[in-house]
Each structure stands twice: as structure tokens, then as C-alpha cells.
Amino acid sequence: MSLENRLGITDPVALAHVEERVSKAAALGMYADGTLEALEPGTLSAFVAIHERLFGELYDFAGRIRTVNLAKGSFRFASALYLEQALHAVEAMPQRTLDQIVGKYVEMNVAHPFREGNGRSGRIWLDHMLRAELGRTVDWSAIPREDYLLAMERSPVRDTEIRALIADALSDRLDDVTLLARGIDASYAYEGYAAYRAGEL
């Protein structure tokens, strides 16, 4: 069964393809048109704006904080009852060093503010902080899918692995469109979206 969407698509495979195509183009567009630069790094409002840009064409819930509880396997994300409080606590976390930025990213992932699309939006949110604070961008294609997923699964207990993976994948090529497109493709592949290439959209 497909998510309810603004285009009235009922076939889940067709919806996944449209979602990938539309949101990948939006992701690359955020870097190209200055949208990211206009946002305040590390804020909840930036995360909301990123999510809304990626998914607003498709879903009514784009950019809206969830009001339902979510779990992935046996792991339960922040309770909807305390979500707003948790999100503001994450927003207040420092973000001056790589360790702080990755810690903040991990906590935002635990909070999981949206019904869907947290991972893809969150990686752009993280990258936005790294660009602003450290002058670096993440080449997600340098982090294998299984390594990333396992590190994120363990990150609520210990973020050493995900921090090391991100540190090794940092680049100072902030305006390299090929690197950005390749990174977006890898980020989407973590979630199983690999039908399109961002650079060709």
C-alpha cells in the first residue's frame, strides 16, 4: 500500500520512483540555488525547510513534525508526546567541532521528527552544518551502505563508528557538482532508492 500523496499514485513502486526522481532533483537544487546557504545551520527550522523542499511536492506531511510514535525494528524513536521538547534540546546542542556535529546529528536521528524521509533530510542537515562550521562536505559515496547502516544502528549507544566514517569521507570540494550528485545518489541508496542518478535529473 502506498503512502497517501498529492499526485494520487496508488502503486507503491511507481510512487517510490516518482519520490526518488522529484526529491533527488530537489536535493541537488538546494545546493545549486542557494537555498541551503539561506538556512541557519543546525536548527530545527533548517531541518523542516530541507524536508519540505525534498518532499513537499508529494506529501502533505512534508515539513510537519510527526504526531505518531515510530519504531525501526526493536528501536523506538523519540515519543511523539515529548518530541517537541527533544527537538529543541537537539537544536541547542553545540556544533563547533566534528565530534559535536556528529553527536548532534545522531541525536536528531534518534528524535526522528518526520513520518518518512528523516534519513535523506538528516544527511543534508548534517552536511549543511559541516559546510558552515568546518568548510567541509560529506562524500557519501565514500561510505559503504552496510557500514553506514550498522554504524547508525549502534550510534545511539556509541557514535564512534559513524564519526570515523564521516571523518574519512570529508572533502573540501564544496562546489563540486559531480561530488554532490554522487553523494546524493549514495545517500538515497542507503534507503533503497537507486533508480535514477541525481546528475542526470
Residue 72 has pLDDT above 90, yes or no: no
Average pLDDT over residues 19-39: 96
Reported as a single tens digit per residue, the pLDDT across 91-133 is 999 999 999 999 999 999 999 999 999 999 999 999 999 999 9
Residue 183 has pLDDT above 90, yes or no: yes
Whole-model pTM over 0.85? yes
pLDDT of residue 142: 98
pLDDT of residue 1: 62
**Boundaries of every domain in the chain:** 12-200
pLDDT of residue 2: 72
* CB 201 within 8 Å of CB 21: yes
Fold (CATH) for 12-200: Fic-like fold (1.10.3290)
Average pLDDT over residues 178-193: 97
pLDDT of residue 201: 86
189 φ, ψ (degrees, to nearest 5): -65, -30
Average pLDDT over residues 23-34: 96
* CB 147 within 8 Å of CB 113: no
Query: Over pLDDT 90: what percentage of the chain?
Result: 94
Contacts of 13 (CB under 8 A, 6+ apart): none
* CB 75 within 8 Å of CB 156: yes
Residue length, the chain? 201
